[in-house]
Amino acid sequence: MLWRTTLGFEIRTVGANPSAARYAGINVGRNIVMTMMLSGAMAGFAGGVQVVGLHPYNFTTGFNVGYGFDSIAVTMLGGLHPFGVVLASFLFGIMDAGGRFMQLRTRAPIDIITIVQGLLLMFVAAKQIITSLYRIRARAEEGPVSFGRLWAGERGAAD
C-alpha cells in the first residue's frame, strides 16, 4: 500500500516533509489522522489476535509486558522499512524464544538476551549517536549540479 497507491505516496510525503507535502496540495492534517487511525487499527487487530488466539477469552497478567519498547527497537533495527521490520521482528522473536529455552536448559539468566538486544541496537544506532554527540555534519555526496545537465541526461563534471 505504501509504494503502489496514491494514499501511500501521500503518507510517505507527509512523513518525509510536511511543509513540502502542504505545498504540493496534500492535506497534511487529514493524512496524519488517517495514518494514526490505520496504525491504531493494526495494533487493535494484533491485540485481538493475542487475546483470542493465544489466550482464549482470558486476559493474563503478563499479557503485554514490554511489547511497546520491543516494537520501537524492532522498528529501529529494521531501518523503518516494512520488510526490514518483519526480519527484525523474527530476529527478536527467535532471541526471545531462544532465551527462554536457554534459561530452562542451562539455568542462565534471561537478562543475557536483553543485554544482547541492547548491544545490537547500540551498534545499529552508533552512527546517529556519534554524529549527534560530536555534532559531525554529513558530507555532501556530490557537488552542485545544474538542472539543465540533469535534464539532458548528463551528470556533473565529477562523473
- pLDDT bracket for residue 111 (50, 70, 90): confident
Side-chain-side CA neighbours of 67 within 13 Å: the count stands at 8
Residue 48 lies in a domain: yes
Residue 159 lies in a domain: no
Instruction: Give CA–CA dist 135/138, Å, rounded.
Output: 9
Count: domains in the chain? 2
Asked if 33 and 71 sit in the same domain, the reply is no
Report pLDDT for 1: 82
Q: What's the 3-state SS for the chain?
A: CCCCCHHHHHHHHHHHCHHHHHHCCCCHHHHHHHHHHHHHHHHHHHHHHHHHHHCCCCCCCCCCCCHHHHHHHHHHHCCCCHHHHHHHHHHHHHHHHHHHHHHHHHCCCCHHHHHHHHHHHHHHCHHHHHHHHCCCCCCCCCCCCCHHHHHCCCCCCCC
Q: What is the DSSP string of 10-36?
A: HHHHHHH-HHHHHHTT--HHHHHHHHH
Asked if 71 and 56 sit in the same domain, the reply is no
Residue 54 lies in a domain: yes
Asked if 46 and 91 sit in the same domain, the reply is no
Percent of the chain past pLDDT 70, that is, above it, reads 77
Asked if 44 and 71 sit in the same domain, the reply is no
Asked if 46 and 108 sit in the same domain, the reply is no
Which structural domain range is residue 40 located in?
1-60
Side-chain-side CA neighbours of 1 within 13 Å: the count stands at 4
Asked if 102 and 50 sit in the same domain, the reply is no
Residue 146 lies in a domain: no
Asked if 84 and 20 sit in the same domain, the reply is no
Grid coordinates given for 118: 541492547
Residue 153 lies in a domain: no
Asked if 6 and 42 sit in the same domain, the reply is yes
- Summarize pLDDT for 25-84 with one digit per residue, the tens: 999 999 999 999 998 998 888 877 777 776 666 666 666 667 777 888 888 888 878 888
Asked if 87 and 112 sit in the same domain, the reply is yes
Q: Which residue has the higher pLDDT, 155 or 99?
A: 99
Q: Of 28-32, 66-70, 113-117, 134-138, where does the model show the most confidence?
A: 28-32
Asked if 70 and 131 sit in the same domain, the reply is yes
Look at the pTM and tell me if it is higher than 0.85.
no
Report pLDDT for 159: 47
Lowest mean pLDDT among 14-28, 50-64, 114-128, 136-150: 136-150
